[in-house]
Amino acid sequence: MLEKLTTQAKTASRKLVTLSSEEKNEAIRHIGKVLWQQRETILSANEKDLDASRKQGLTESKLDRLRLDETRIQDMITGLEQIADLADPVGQSLQTIERPNGLTIEQIRVPFGVIGIIYESRPNVTVDAAGLTLKTGNAVILRGGKEAINTNIALVNALRDGLKETSLPEDAIQIIQQTERQTIEQLIRSKGKVDLIIPRGGAGLIQYVLEHSLVPVIETGVGNCHVYVDKDANLQMALDIAINAKVQRPSVCNAIESLLVHEQIAPAFLPALVPLLKEKGVTIRGCEQTQALLPNQAIEAATEIDFDTEFLDLILAIKVVKNTEEAISHIDRFGTNHSEAIVTDNQETANQFLTSVDAAAVYHNASTRFTDGFEFGFGAEIGISTQKLHARGPMGLKELTSYKYLIHGNGQIRE
């Protein structure tokens, strides 16, 4: 099965590279229209997945990641339209070099070819991935999680139906319908047929892919993210940022999992913050100092495991720190190089934090929830890269391209 999918995808990728931006944009807009036309079928499939997941005891936050409605489908379509409106990076000239011997060397952006994307229970990834890969002239093989399998199949069927009415090959979008673990292993070992693997999901999935893949991998982000409230922070700003970063959508990778608070501001800040978080259903796990400052709030004792965990839920670990250096050391130990933030009115302290913290996105006086392709102006994203090679942070169109050199001569030979 997988041999057939990879062969079809490779054939489709060779046609995609020859198509114009106008042809790709027209196709991307058209598949959005077909998604809307087939929304009832998609929502019916999604309800089957939700029912099965409820029976399996999935938490409400995980069900939210899986759930679709007409508004979310419309958001997917809006995302496709935004992708179509973006400048096409394929064929872009990065530099031109004129050599003394008359050779002209031009570096241009090109597609990777076939991209395999492995992800878990968020069906919006299916549509985002299809739009971004089509725009960049790549074929895509999608391997979603079992929780969303019916939804993903319905989405891909609609996307492929849409491509049938365009100049793009429908085999540019493939889905692996089997959810057994060995399908992941087969995909990531398809060297020569698949050019790039992008895993999106929990730490276990990403680590498995990194350790076993024969195909190059872009590591995407487990998000054990932090907000550090400095002694010179504006209290109201710090409250707004901390609440937003935890509560606005706790099930995503750019939500914070830990809050670090300078010991000088903690007595004023934590009694103001914790009741507001608890009103929103957040469970607090605090260090000894946090518990001592809030004796009537029934704060659970935080362990090292808590500080090392991506909860993806309404749970927040809090630690009181002596200074900025301790906050940075804590992030160095427990952070996942995703998104980190400081709240302070002291520019010198902010600069220390921004320079010293090793993460793809480091914020001063803003919520970590902005680490997102849409918010960065990239259109839909394929994921948040936490590595340092090729791509880092939100990956948009440019990150889905490689480059090659075109060399123009008039008979030169090397002596």
The β-bridge partners of 199 are 118
The Cα-based distances of 221 to 206, 234, 347 in angstroms read: 9, 30, 28
**Structure confidence at residue 24 (pLDDT):** 98
Q: How confident is the model at residue 165 (pLDDT cuts 50, 70, 90)?
A: very high
Per-residue pLDDT tens digits for 335-363: 999 999 999 999 999 999 999 999 999 99
The β-bridge partners of 364 are 342
Per-residue pLDDT tens digits for 181-199: 999 999 999 999 999 999 9
Q: How confident is the model at residue 222 (pLDDT cuts 50, 70, 90)?
A: confident
Per-residue pLDDT tens digits for 270-303: 999 999 999 999 999 999 999 999 998 889 999 9
Per-residue pLDDT tens digits for 400-415: 999 999 999 999 999 8
Q: Which residue has the higher pLDDT, 252 or 322?
A: 322
Average pLDDT over every residue of 3-24: 97
Q: How confident is the model at residue 383 (pLDDT cuts 50, 70, 90)?
A: confident
Q: Which fold has domain 2-220+395-408?
A: Aldehyde Dehydrogenase; Chain A, domain 1 (3.40.605)
Q: How confident is the model at residue 139 (pLDDT cuts 50, 70, 90)?
A: very high
- What tokens does 376 get? 């960065």
Q: Is residue 104 pLDDT above 90, yes or no?
A: yes
Three-state SS at 367: coil
**Structure confidence at residue 212 (pLDDT):** 95
321: amino acid identity, one letter: V
Pairing of strands 104-111, 401-408: antiparallel
Percent helix, percent strand, percent coil in the chain, to nearest 5: 45, 20, 35
Q: Is residue 221 pLDDT above 80, yes or no?
A: no
394: amino acid identity, one letter: P
**Structure confidence at residue 219 (pLDDT):** 86
- What tokens does 81 get? 């339209």
* CB hemisphere CA count around 172 (13 angstroms): 35
231 exposure class (CB count in 10 Å sphere: 0-12, 13-18, 19+): middle
**CATH H superfamily, domain 225-370:** Aldehyde Dehydrogenase; Chain A, domain 2 (3.40.309.10)
Helix axes 70-85, 21-37, angle to 10 degrees: 170
Three-state SS at 101: coil
Q: Is residue 116 pLDDT above 90, yes or no?
A: yes
Name, in order, each residue with C-beta under 8 angstroms of 276's C-beta and a sequence gap of 6 or more: 239, 243
CA quadruple 37, 41, 45, 50: dihedral positive or negative?
A: positive
Q: What is the mean pLDDT of the chain?
A: 95
Average pLDDT over every residue of 18-28: 97
Q: Is residue 257 pLDDT above 80, yes or no?
A: yes
**Structure confidence at residue 387 (pLDDT):** 87
Three-state SS at 386: coil
**Structure confidence at residue 120 (pLDDT):** 84
Q: Are 229 and 269 contacting, i.e. CB atoms less than 8 angstroms apart?
A: yes
Q: Is residue 77 pLDDT above 90, yes or no?
A: yes
Per-residue pLDDT tens digits for 38-71: 999 999 999 999 999 999 998 887 898 899 999 9
- Could you list the beta-strand ranges (E) of 49-169: 93-98, 104-111, 114-119, 139-143
Q: How confident is the model at residue 371 (pLDDT cuts 50, 70, 90)?
A: very high
Residue in the structure block whose two tokens are 């491509």: 163
Alpha-helix runs per DSSP H in 230-279: 235-247, 266-279
Question: HEC string of 155-201?
Answer: HHHHHHHHHCCCCCCHHHEEECCCCCHHHHHHHHCCECCECEEEEEC
Sorted by where each begins, the domain ranges of the chain are 2-220+395-408, 225-370
- What tokens does 65 get? 């990641």
